[in-house]
C-alpha cells in the first residue's frame, strides 16, 4: 500500500511539474469576467440545469456572512450585460454548502440541498424550474453535528439512489434523499437518511464524483484523494493521488462530461487545471483569469451553450480587491484550438439517471426494511442486512443510539441516532448539560467577535469588567462591559483576536494591569492599560511590532491567538503569540526607557502542526494549555528554558477522545490547592464546552452547551469560538465567578440573525453546581477567593 501510494504521489508531482517545462504541449487560455453578482461572502456555486429549454438557467451560491447568511438564487443569464440576475435570498444561517439533486422519488422533483453552520440542519428546497421559485420542504430537515466544508452528490447506477456526501473535520457523512419507504402505495414524502459515516485523513474543502462512481476530495493540506462510491456501509479504501506541483492549495473540483472523455477541472487559487480523468498525472491545459487579482474559491460548470457563451459557462466564487462575489465567464476559449478538448453542450444531468435501477430485493430479509443494504450472501441462513447508522437487527428493524442516550435517567432513543433528552440534558448522547446564559453583552458595532477576558477589580469585585474582542474590520477593537453586559467603554481598531489580562506589571514607579492581545490589522502585540476603575488607556510601548528575527522563522508570520503568563519562578511576565501555522512565539514583557518592551525568548511548533489559536497558562504550575483545532488539547511547560515538549491532554472524537473539532478557546479556573481547579475548552463545531480537571491526568469532568434563555431573552450560543472564566466570587449573583463565551450568530427572537456579535455571560455555579451534578461536589474544586494580584 505504502509503495503504490508514494508512487502515484510521485507521478502526479513529477508530471504536474513537467507540464510547466513542456508547456508547448499544454494549452493555456485566459478567461475574462463577463458577468458578476453584487458583493457576497461566496464560497461555493452550483448550477441548475433547467427541465425545459425555455426555462431559466439557475445558479445557487452560498452566503457565508453572519447577518444575511444562507444561499441565494440567480437567473444565470437574466441580468444586464449578461450578468446574473438575483431572484431570491434564503437566510438559513451562515453556510458554505449548496448543491442540487435531480429527479427524486416518484414525483421526480429537483431540489436544492444546503447545510447551515448556524443550526447544523440539512434543508431541501423544491425547485420550480419554470419560474425559478423555491419551496422549502418543512419537516424533512436532518441534523448533522459538526463543522462541514465540502458537499457533493452521487447517483448510484445500480440502485438509482441519490446520495449526498457531506465532509468536515476529518469526518464524512453520506445521506440518501428519497421517498420514504412505505408499505402502502401512498407517497409518504421525502426523507433524508444517513447511510454511512467514516473518518477521512483531512478536512476537505471540495469534492466531486466522476460518472464511474469515484469520489474525489481535496484536503486542507493540498492533497487530492479518492475512493469508490458504493451502495454499501463498508468504509472504502481511500487512496492519496497526489498534490499539485508547487504545493498550491486545491480550491475546487468539478467534472466536465465530454462526449467521449470525462475531464476533471481542478481549481487552484489563480487558475484551473484540466485533466483527463483517466490520466490525472498530466494536465491538458490551464485556465487563467484576465483579472490577475482574482482569488478563486470554488466554481461550477454549465455545459450547454447560450447566446453569449456558445460552449457553456464557468461560474465561480471569487475574491478581488473589491471583495467577494460570484463571477461568470464563457468557456469558449477552452474548446478552441490548440486545445484538443471537445465541448459537449448536450449534457443534461438527468440523462445519467438509470430508469431501471431499483434497490436489490432481499427476499428473505424483508428488503432490510429500507434501512440497510442487502448482503451478497442472502441465501445463507446466517445472512443479515448491512444496516445504515442508527439501525440494527438482522433486517434493520431496530433503531439504535450512541450510549443508548444515557438511558434511562438522561434520555431515550426515539429515532435512528436520535435521542430525546430529559432537561437539562441535551446533546447527541443526552450527556451534555444545557445551561442558559444569564446575560449577553450589548451590541457594539462588529460582526466578528472572538476570545474575551475578565478583569477583576482590585477592591470591589462586583465592579469587575468583561473585555471582549471584535476582530472584523468594521467595529474592530476591545469592548468593556459590566457584569450584566452593559457597555462601559472600549477601544477602536487593531482587529484584536484573543484578549487576556496581566496584573501588576511594573511600569516606572507604578504597577499596571494590562490587556494583551494579538492585533491582526497591523500584525502586532497590542496592549492597553486597565485603570483601577476599569477603563482602557493607551500606554507607551503598547503596540509592539514583531521583531525582525521572526521573519527568519517564518517569512509571513501572521499573528493569531495569544495568552499570558506570570512566572512564579522568576517573576517575569510573558506573552505567547501564535500563527495558524502552529508556530508559537514566547515574549518576555519588560519596561525600557519609560515604555513597554518585548523580547522574543522562545519559539516552537505546537502539537501536530495543525492550526492553533486558543491558549491559557496555569501560572502557579507553569503550564501552557493550547488547543490544536483539528486534533486536541496539549500542555507544554511555560518557562522559556523548558523543553518545548507537548503532552496530549485529550484529542478529538475522530481519534478516540472527547473533544469535537474545532478545538478553539481554552480557559482555566483555579482551585484552592494545586490539585484542584478546572480547564474549560470550547468545541466550535458542536458549540459545546468540555470541562477537565486542572491537574494531571486531566480527567474529563462534564460538558455543557448554552440554549436559549427565553425568560431573559438571551439567545443560544452557536458556532462558539473564544471562552474565558474565573472562579472568584464577583458579588451576590456570581458566588463562584462566571464564564463568558463568544456567540457567532446573535439570533433575534424570531430566529433571524442580527448584524453584531455578542458575548454570553453564565454563572459558573449554574454549571458546576447544577442540580443534576450536585452529587459530584464540583464547586469544592473552585477557589472562590482567587486573587490574581497575589
Ligand X SMILES: *[C@@H]1O[C@H](CO)[C@@H](O)[C@H](O)[C@H]1NC(C)=O
637 binds ligand X (CB under 6 A): yes
By CB under 6 A, name the one of 331, 695, 730, 778 that touches ligand X.
Answer: 695
Residue closer to ligand X, measured from CB, 486 or 674: 674
Query: Shortest approach of ligand X to residue 675 CB, angstroms?
Result: 5
Residue closer to ligand X, measured from CB, 199 or 642: 642
Closest CA to 761 of 783, 738, 737: 738
Looking from the CA of 394 toward its CB, the CA atoms found within 13 Å total: 11
Residue closer to ligand X, measured from CB, 474 or 642: 642
What is the greatest pairwise CA distance in the chain?
89
By CB under 6 A, name the one of 22, 221, 675, 780 that touches ligand X.
Answer: 675
Q: What are phi and psi of 551, to 5 degrees?
A: -60, -30
Residue closer to ligand X, measured from CB, 384 or 412: 412
Residue closer to ligand X, measured from CB, 150 or 649: 649
Residue closer to ligand X, measured from CB, 671 or 722: 671
Q: Which residue is nearest to ligand X (CB)?
A: 407
Q: For residue 71, give the C-alpha cell.
A: 444561499
Q: Which stretch binds ligand X (CB under 6 A): 101-109, 171-179, 405-413, 494-502?
A: 405-413
- CA triplet 348, 350, 354: central angle to 5 degrees? 130
Query: Shortest approach of ligand X to residue 397 CB, angstroms?
Result: 14
Query: Shortest approach of ligand X to residue 413 CB, angstroms?
Result: 6
Of 67-96, which residues contact ligand X (CB under 6 A)?
none
In the chain, how many H helices and how many E strands? 3, 59
Binding track over 580-619 against ligand X, x by CB under 6 A: ----------------------------------------
Residue closer to ligand X, measured from CB, 631 or 636: 636
Q: Distance between CA atoms of 310 and 215, rounded to whole angstroms?
A: 30
Q: Distance between CA atoms of 778 and 764, rounded to whole angstroms?
A: 11
Q: What are phi and psi of 245, to 5 degrees?
A: -60, 140
Closest CA to 685 of 309, 167, 114, 224: 167
Q: Distance between CA atoms of 240 and 223, rounded to whole angstroms?
A: 7
Query: Shortest approach of ligand X to residue 674 CB, angstroms?
Result: 4
Whether residue 338 has a cis bond before it, omega within 30° of 0: yes
Query: Shortest approach of ligand X to residue 412 CB, angstroms?
Result: 4
Q: Distance between CA atoms of 170 and 506, rounded to whole angstroms?
A: 46
696 binds ligand X (CB under 6 A): yes
Q: For residue 675, give the C-alpha cell.
A: 490539585
CB 772 within 8 A of CB 425: yes
What is residue 237's DSSP assignment? P
What is residue 367's DSSP assignment? G
Closest CA to 261 of 248, 249, 279, 247: 279
412 binds ligand X (CB under 6 A): yes
Handedness of CA 69, 75, 78, 84 (dihedral sign): positive
Q: Which stretch binds ligand X (CB under 6 A): 192-200, 304-312, 406-414, 590-598?
A: 406-414
408 binds ligand X (CB under 6 A): yes
Residue closer to ligand X, measured from CB, 315 or 430: 430
Q: Which stretch binds ligand X (CB under 6 A): 203-211, 449-457, 694-702, 703-711?
A: 694-702
Residue closer to ligand X, measured from CB, 408 or 749: 408
Q: For residue 51, give the C-alpha cell.
A: 427541465
Q: For residue 146, give the C-alpha cell.
A: 459538526
By CB under 6 A, name the one of 674, 748, 777, 787 that touches ligand X.
Answer: 674
402 binds ligand X (CB under 6 A): no
Query: Shortest approach of ligand X to residue 454 CB, angstroms?
Result: 21
Q: What is the dihedral angle through the alpha carbons of 297, 115, 663, 776, rounded to the nearest 10 degrees? A: 170
377 binds ligand X (CB under 6 A): no
Residues contacting ligand X: total by CB under 6 A: 13
407 binds ligand X (CB under 6 A): yes
* Residues 6 or more apart whose Cβ sits within 8 Å of residue 199: 170, 171, 172, 654
Residue closer to ligand X, measured from CB, 257 or 429: 429
Residue closer to ligand X, measured from CB, 471 or 698: 698
Of 612-631, which residues contact ligand X (CB under 6 A)?
621, 623
Q: What are phi and psi of 8, to 5 degrees?
A: -65, -35
Q: Which stretch binds ligand X (CB under 6 A): 233-241, 488-496, 595-603, 689-697?
A: 689-697
- Which positions touch ligand X (CB under 6 A)? 404, 407-408, 412-413, 621, 623, 637, 674-675, 694-696
Amino acid at each position: 500500500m505504502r509503495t503504490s501510494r508514494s508512487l502515484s504521489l510521485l507521478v502526479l508531482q513529477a508530471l504536474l511539474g513537467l507540464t510547466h517545462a513542456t508547456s508547448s504541449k499544454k494549452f493555456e487560455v485566459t478567461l475574462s469576467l463577463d458577468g458578476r453578482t453584487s458583493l457576497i461572502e461566496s464560497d461555493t456555486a452550483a448550477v441548475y440545469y433547467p427541465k425545459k429549454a425555455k426555462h431559466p438557467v439557475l445558479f445557487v451560491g452560498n452566503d457565508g456572512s453572519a447577518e444575511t447568511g444562507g444561499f441565494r438564487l440567480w437567473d444565470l443569464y437574466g441580468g444586464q450585460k449578461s450578468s446574473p440576475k438575483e431572484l431570491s435570498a434564503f437566510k438559513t444561517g451562515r453556510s458554505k454548502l449548496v448543491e442540487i439533486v435531480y429527479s427524486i422519488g416518484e414525483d421526480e422533483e429537483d431540489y436544492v440541498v444546503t447545510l447551515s453552520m448556524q443550526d447544523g440542519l440539512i434543508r431541501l428546497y423544491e425547485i420550480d424550474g419554470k419560474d425559478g421559485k423555491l419551496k422549502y420542504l418543512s419537516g424533512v430537515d436532518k441534523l448533522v453535528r459538526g463543522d462541514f466544508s465540502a458537499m457533493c452528490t452521487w447517483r448510484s447506477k445500480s440502485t438509482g439512489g441519490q446520495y449526498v456526501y457531506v465532509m468536515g473535520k476529518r469526518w464524512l457523512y453520506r445521506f440518501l434523499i428519497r421517498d420514504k419507504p412505505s408499505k402502502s402505495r401512498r407517497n409518504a414524502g421525502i426523507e433524508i437518511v444517513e447511510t454511512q459515516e467514516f473518518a477521512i485523513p483531512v478536512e476537505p474543502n471540495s469534492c466531486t464524483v466522476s460518472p464511474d462512481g469515484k469520489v474525489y476530495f481535496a484536503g486542507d493540506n493540498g492533497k487530492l484523494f479518492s475512493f469508490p462510491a458504493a451502495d454499501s456501509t463498508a468504509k472504502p479504501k481511500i487512496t492519496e493521488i497526489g498534490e499539485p506541483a508547487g504545493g498550491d492549495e486545491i480550491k475546487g473540483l468539478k467534472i466536465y462530461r465530454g462526449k467521449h472523455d470525462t475531464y476533471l477541472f481542478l481549481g487552484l487559487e489563480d487558475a484551473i487545471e484540466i485533466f483527463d480523468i483517466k490520466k490525472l498525472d498530466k494536465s491538458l491545459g490551464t485556465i487563467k483569469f484576465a483579472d490577475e487579482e482574482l482569488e478563486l474559491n470554488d466554481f461550477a460548470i454549465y455545459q450547454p451553450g447560450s447566446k453569449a457563451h456558445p460552449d457553456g459557462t464557468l461560474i465561480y466564487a471569487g475574491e478581488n480587491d473589491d471583495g467577494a462575489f460570484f463571477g461568470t465567464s464563457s468557456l469558449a476559449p477552452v474548446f478552441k484550438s490548440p486545445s484538443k478538448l471537445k465541448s459537449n453542450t448536450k449534457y443534461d444531468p438527468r440523462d445519467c439517471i438509470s430508469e431501471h435501477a431499483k434497490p436489490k430485493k432481499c427476499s428473505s430479509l424483508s428488503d432490510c426494511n429500507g434501512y440497510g443494504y442487502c448482503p451478497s450472501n442472502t441465501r445463507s441462513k446466517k445472512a443479515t442486512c448491512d444496516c445504515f447508522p442508527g439501525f440494527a437487527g438482522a433486517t434493520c428493524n431496530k433503531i439504535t443510539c450512541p450510549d443508548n442516550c444515557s438511558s434511562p435517567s438522561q434520555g431515550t432513543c426515539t429515532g435512528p441516532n436520535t435521542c430525546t433528552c430529559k432537561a437539562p440534558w441535551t446533546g447527541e448522547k443526552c450527556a451534555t448539560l444545557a445551561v442558559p446564559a444569564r446575560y449577553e453583552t450589548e451590541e457594539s458595532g462588529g460582526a466578528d467577535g472572538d476570545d474575551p477576558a475578565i478583569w477583576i477589580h482590585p477592591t470591589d469585585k462586583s465592579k469587575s469588567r468583561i473585555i471582549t474582542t471584535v476582530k472584523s474590520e468594521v467595529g474592530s477593537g476591545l469592548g468593556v462591559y459590566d457584569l450584566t453586559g452593559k457597555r462601559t467603554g472600549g477601544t477602536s481598531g487593531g482587529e484584536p483576536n484573543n484578549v487576556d489580562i496581566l496584573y501588576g506589571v511594573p511600569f516606572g514607579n507604578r504597577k499596571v494591569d494590562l490587556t494583551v492581545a494579538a492585533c491582526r490589522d497591523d500584525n502586532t502585540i497590542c496592549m492597553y492599560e486597565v485603570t483601577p476603575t476599569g477603563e482602557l488607556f493607551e500606554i507607551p510601548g503598547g503596540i509592539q511590532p514583531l521583531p525582525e528575527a521572526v521573519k527568519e522563522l517564518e517569512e509571513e508570520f501572521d499573528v493569531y491567538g495569544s495568552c499570558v503568563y506570570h512566572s512564579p519562578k522568576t517573576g517575569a511576565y510573558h506573552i505567547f503569540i501564535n500563527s495558524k501555522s502552529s508556530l508559537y512565539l514566547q515574549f518576555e514583557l519588560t519596561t525600557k526607557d519609560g515604555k513597554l518592551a518585548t523580547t522574543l525568548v522562545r519559539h516552537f511548533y505546537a502539537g501536530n502542526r495543525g492550526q492553533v489559536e486558543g491558549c491559557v497558562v496555569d501560572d502557579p504550575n507553569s503550564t501552557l494549555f493550547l488547543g490544536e483545532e483539528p486534533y486536541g488539547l496539549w500542555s507544554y511547560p511555560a518557562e522559556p528554558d523548558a523543553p518545548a515538549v507537548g503532552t496530549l491532554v485529550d484529542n478529538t472524537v475522530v481519534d478516540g477522545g472527547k473533544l469535537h473539532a474545532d478545538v478553539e478557546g481554552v480557559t482555566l479556573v483555579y482551585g484552592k490547592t494545586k490539585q484542584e481547579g478546572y480547564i474549560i475548552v470550547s468545541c466550535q463545531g458542536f458549540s459545546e464546552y468540555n470541562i477537565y480537571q486542572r491537574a494531571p491526568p486531566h480527567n474529563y469532568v462534564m460538558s455543557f452547551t448554552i440554549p436559549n434563555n427565553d425568560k431573559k431573552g438571551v439567545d443560544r450560543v452557536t458556532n462558539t469560538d473564544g471562552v474565558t472564566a474565573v472562579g472568584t466570587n464577583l458579588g451576590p449573583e456570581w458566588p463562584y465567578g462566571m464564564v463568558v463565551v463568544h456567540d457567532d450568530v446573535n439570533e433575534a427572537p424570531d430566529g433571524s440573525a442580527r448584524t453584531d456579535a455578542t458575548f454570553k455571560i453564565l454563572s459558573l455555579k449554574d454549571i458546576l453546581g447544577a442540580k443534576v451534578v450536585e452529587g459530584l461536589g464540583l464547586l469544592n474544586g473552585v477557589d472562590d477567593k482567587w486573587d490574581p494580584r497575589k
